[in-house]
Amino acid sequence: DADVTQTPRNRITKTGKRIMLECSQTKGHDRMYWYRQDPGLGLRLIYYSFDVKDINKGEISDGYSVSRQAQAKFSLSLESAIPNQTALYFCATSAGFNQPQHFGDGTRLSIL
């Protein structure tokens, strides 16, 4: 979905490095989400945000932090990356509680 843009698309880095994944959206949605996808495990929610001042932990928030800089921007940080954080990371947005989610094309992150 071109309305949700994730950067970078691919990243290879070393254990212990700090990494930031960025997400921006032009859909005007208040709700934004970060997920990780691992083979055979589906998507798991890391953090979600209802607006700039409302950040909530998801299912697997340990080792991650987020920042909602503006309605349109939601970034995910790995303070000290470890190999088991190697995964595909997705940002998504939603217009409301009973509305579908719109995904970016993901960031493939490899931690050596």
Partner 1 sequence: SQQGEEDPQALSIQEGENATMNCSYKTSINNLQWYRQNSGRGLVHLILIRSNEREKHSGRLRVTLDTSKKSSSLLITASRAADTASYFCATREGGSEKLVFGKGMKLTVNP
Q: How are beta strands 107-111 and 4-7 bridged, if at all?
A: unpaired
Q: Output the smallest distance, CB 86 to partner 1, in A.
A: 16
Other C-beta atoms lying within 10 Å of the C-beta of residue 33: 23
**Can you tell me which of 43, 52, 55, 95 binds partner 1, judged by CB under 8 A?**
43
105 binds partner 1 (CB under 8 A): yes
Q: Alpha helix (H) ranges present in 36-112?
A: none
Tokens representing residue 69 in the block: 């800089």
Q: In this complex, which beta carbon is closest to partner 1, that of residue 81 or of residue 92?
A: 92
64 binds partner 1 (CB under 8 A): no
